[in-house]
Amino acid sequence: MAPPFAVAAVSSSSPLFSSSSHRRHPPLGSISVRPRHRTAVASAAATESAGKVLLEVHGLTASVKETGQQILKGVDLTVREGEVHAIMGKNGSGKSTLTKVLVGHPHYEVTGGTILFKGENLIDMEPEERSLAGLFMSFQAPIEIPGVSNYDFLLMAINARREKDGLPALGPLEFYSVVSQKVEALKMEPKILDRNVNEGFSGGERKRNEILQLSVRLL
């Protein structure tokens, strides 16, 4: 599996999605990820104007399951609707580990702390359940899935999400009218839907394809 590139929680308000604020945090490791100190008045005003909390990480510690090596050491992070958070740091500081722990990668074990996504405890969920809850992980090098067309892949993904939400499945023709708008908004060729997932794609096509997957999941 290719190393993860980023995990983002966003709200949909356009043909794709949009974000309204950008925050940057220090590297992970033995330090906690926390916002700068604010006065009580400023904090109250910011909370009132901020969006709904999507992701809450408190005191998260995690280790490599096979060796027991601790990587995350008390990470705190809060992501609200419309926000984009960039976590930066040197190699080995824990960026990839954090994303893998969030999506439930089996090579890592949570040893302390909590992870809430939309109020639900992620730690108790299987990776598939976390995906259906709305968590999406982008990859630095998205893998190919030979024999599976983009169209079938996207239709299966959206119907799995609709089933979880108690909604009827979309038929192929009904879904095409929806996904074609997303393809057009991304300035992709319509034939991208007939190609196998990432097979023979350029680097740029793979990244656009991931954005297409995310935009469909936000429906």
Q: Is the dihedral of CA 199, 202, 208, 211 positive or negative?
A: positive
pLDDT at 40: 46
What 3-state DSSP class applies to 66? coil
Q: How confident is the prediction for the chain on average, in pLDDT?
A: 80
Q: What is the pLDDT of residues 140-185, one digit of tens each?
A: 888 899 999 999 999 999 999 899 889 999 999 999 999 999 999 9
Query: CA 30, CA 53: separation in Å to the nearest integer?
Result: 25
SS3 for 156-168 is HHHHHHHHHCCCC
Residue pair 133/118 in contact (Cβ under 8 Å)? The answer is: yes
pLDDT at 11: 34
State yes or no: pLDDT of 188 exceeds 70.
yes
pTM (whole model) above 0.85: no
% of the chain exceeding 90 in pLDDT:
58
Q: What is the pLDDT of residues 95-120, one digit of tens each?
A: 999 999 999 999 999 999 999 999 99
Residue pair 161/133 in contact (Cβ under 8 Å)? The answer is: no
Residues whose CB is less than 8 angstroms from the CB of residue 81 and which lie 6 or more positions away in sequence, other chains included: 9, 10, 11, 51, 52, 53, 54
pLDDT at 5: 34
